[in-house]
Amino acid sequence: MGRSVIIWCLCSFLLFSLAVSVKAVRSPRSVPLSTLYNLSPGTSPRFPQGQAERLIKSLGLLPGAAVESSGPVNGPGLHERKIQLDIFTNSTSASASRHAAHYAGYFTLKRSHTANMFYTFFESRGNKGMDPLVLLMTGGPACASEVAMFYENGPFKIQDNIENLTLIWNKFGWDQEASIIYIDLPVGTGFSYSTNSGDIRHDAEGVSEDIFDFFQAFFTAHPEFAENDLYVMGESFGSHYVPAVAARLHEEKKLKQGLPINLKGFAIGSGLTHPNIRYESYADYALSMALIADDDHKRLSKVFPACATAIELCGTKGTVTCIAAYLVCQSIFNTILAISGNINSFDIRKECNEDICYDFSNLEIYLNQTKVREALGVGNQKFLSCSPLVYEAILMDWMESKENKIARLLEDGIQILVYAGEFDLICNWLGNSMWTAALPWSGQIEYARAPWKKFEVNGIEAGLVTGFKNLNFVKVQDAGHMVAMDQPRIALEMFRRWTRGIPLGNRIKLEY
C-alpha cells in the first residue's frame, strides 16, 4: 500500500473518530460501511498533526510543568493509621481476619509540589511473614484502586443495600494468600490529591518513580515485609504501569539504589500492553464472536495499516504523533462498537447502560460517607472513582508499547503472568495472547510451540493456559474484563498457584 494511500486513510479515520464516540453512536448493522468509514477521498491527504496539536492544547496535555527535583517531605513521607471499618458477616473468615492488621495512609510524593498519594495496606489473613506482598494497580486509565478492592479481589465487598451501605467479607479476597497494597494512582484519582496541576503524571515512567519512592518509605515503616517476595499486578491500563514499575524496582536494585526490593514477578490482567497488536486483533476477535460480518472484517483489515503507520510515528516523533495515533487507531475500535450495537465492550454478553458500562455508584456513596472518611483518615477529601482530568493527562502514554521492558525482565528471570477473560472486547484475550507470543526474548520459539492445556479448578474447566519457563498466559472462561469480579474463585486460585510457583495446569481440589 502506497504511503499516500495510508495517509489518506489516516485522515479519513481521524474524521470518523471525531464523529463516533465510544458510547453514544451505536449504528445499526444496516448502515452502509462506506458511510461508517467515511472513505470518500475528497480531502487533501495530511497526517492529522494539526488536529492532535489542538487536542493537546485544549486538554492541557503538554507536561511542561512536570517536577523533576525533590520537594519537601515530612519525615519519610509516609503518614498512615490502622483502620477498622464496620463489617457485618457470619462468615468463618471473620475470626481469622481479626488477626490481620489493616492500614490506610498518604505518601507525600518526593518528586512533586504538593502531591499526596493515598494507599491501603491489608496484611495477609494467612502467614504474613511467609506470604508474598502484592501491589495491585487499577486501570481506566485514571480509575481508583478501590474499584478493584471492593468489586474484585480485596478483603471486602460493598453490601448492595442503598439504604444502609456497609461491608461484608469477600470469601475470595486475595488477602487470604498475600499481604496487599492498593494505591490510588496517578495522583488525582481516588483519594490521592495535589493542589498543584504540575503534579499530574503524563506517563507510566512518572508513575514508576512515585512507586519506587513509595516503597522506600513503606519498607522503612514496615521492615518486617522487606524480605517477602513482591509481586506487582495491574489490569487494563494498569498494564502500562506494571512493566514500568517492575523495571524501575528491578533496575534500582541492580544499581544498589535505596533499599533492595525483592521483586519476584508481575502480572497483567486484561492488558492494554502492545498497541499495534491490540488494534490488529480487534477485527479478528470481533469476527470470531459474531460482532461484525465478513465484509466488515475485510474493510477493517484494509485500513489497519494506517493505524500501524501512526503507531510507528508515535514511537519516533513524540507527543503530537502519539495523540494523532490514538485518534486514528481508536476509530477501529469505535467502528466495531458502532456496527455491533449497544454492547458492553468490557463484557460482550452484556449491554452498556452506564458511562463506563458498569454501575460503581455504590462505591462513591460508601467512601464519601463522613464516618468512612474519618476511619480512613482522609479528612474532607472527596473520593473520585475515575478522573477525567488525569485520563486526559495520561492519554499520551496510551499508544506506547512496553514490550522491551517486559522482555528484559523475562531474561532476568522475573516471573510473568498474563491473563484475560474470554468475553472482553477492549482488552481481548486474542490480542493479549498474540503479543505474549511475539515478545522478543530467548524463550520466544519455545513459548510459541508450547501446548495449550486446560486450566481446571475443582475438576471443572475454567480456561486454557500456555507458557514456557517464567512466562505464562491464561484465557479465563466465562469472564469479561474484570476477571476477579466475574470469576472470583477461579481468579483466586490462579493467583494462588502463580504466586506459589504451582503449575497452572495442575489439577487441584480446593478447600474454599
Three-state secondary structure along 209-253? Answer: HHHHHHHHHHHHHCHHHCCCCEEEEEEECHHHHHHHHHHHHHHHH
Give the pLDDT score at 373: 92
Spatial distance between the Cα atoms of 42 and 319, rounded to a whole number of angstroms: 28
How, if at all, do strands 460-468 and 471-476 pair? antiparallel
- pLDDT at residue 88 in the model: 58
Chain mean position to CA 72? 30
Give the pLDDT confidence score for residue 41 in this predicted structure.
32
Quick check: 141 and 181 in contact, CB under 8 A? Answer: no
Domain(s) labelled CATH 3.40.50.1820 in the chain stretch across 78-273+398-428+476-500
- Residue 214: the pLDDT is 96
| The pLDDT value given to residue 99 | 57
Task: Output the pLDDT for position 50.
Answer: 52
Q: Which of 416, 138, 383, 384 is nearest to 272 (CA)?
A: 138
Do you find a cis peptide bond into 141, omega within 30 degrees of 0?
A: yes
Residues 180-237: pLDDT tens digits?
A: 999 999 999 999 999 888 888 878 888 999 999 999 999 999 999 999 999 999 999 8
**Cβ count within 10 A of residue 83:** 17
Rounded Cα distance, 353 and 336, in Å: 17
Q: Would you call the peptide bond into 132 cis, given omega within 30 degrees of 0 as the criterion? A: no
Number of neighbours of residue 153 by Cβ within 10 angstroms: 29
- How far apart are alpha carbons 223 and 212 in whole angstroms? 16
> Active-site residue numbers?
236, 424, 481
Which cell is 2 given? 502506497
- Give me the residues of the chain with pLDDT under 50, please: 1-47, 52-75, 90-96
CA torsion through residues 164, 170, 176, 182, sign: negative
Domain boundaries 78-273+398-428+476-500, corresponding CATH code = 3.40.50.1820
3-class SS letters over 346-388? CEEEEECCCCCCCCCHHHHHHHCCHHHHHHHCCCCCCCECECH
pTM of the predicted protein model: 0.85
pLDDT for 318: 63
Describe the chain by its helix, strand, coil percentages, rounded to 5.
Answer: 40, 20, 40
Per-residue pLDDT, 507:
63
Nearest Cα to 395, choosing from 299, 320, 290? 320
- Spatial neighbors of 261 by CB under 8 A, at least 6 apart, are 215, 219, 230, 249, 252, 253
